[in-house]
Amino acid sequence: MLGGNDEEKEWYLFSQRKRISSGGTRADMTTPYGHWKETSGYRPIKLKGEVVGYWKTLVYIKRKSPGSTAKKTDWIMHEYRLKDLPKLVYPTIQE
Residue 7's pLDDT is 65
Residue 22's pLDDT is 63
All structural domains of the chain, each given as residue ranges with its CATH number in brackets, are 30-82 (2.170.150.80)
Picking from 94, 77, 93, the residue whose alpha carbon sits closest to that of residue 15 is 77
d(CA 67, CA 36): 16
Phi and psi for 55 in degrees, rounded to 5? -140, 155
Residue 1's pLDDT is 38
Residue 17's pLDDT is 66
- Residue 52 gets the label, from left (phi > 0), alpha (psi -120 to 50) or beta, of alpha
Q: How many residues does the chain have?
A: 95
pLDDT tens digits in sequence order for the chain, 95 residues long: 344 455 667 777 776 666 666 665 666 677 788 888 888 889 999 999 999 999 999 999 998 777 778 899 999 989 888 888 766 666 666 65
Residue 83's pLDDT is 87
Residue 20's pLDDT is 66
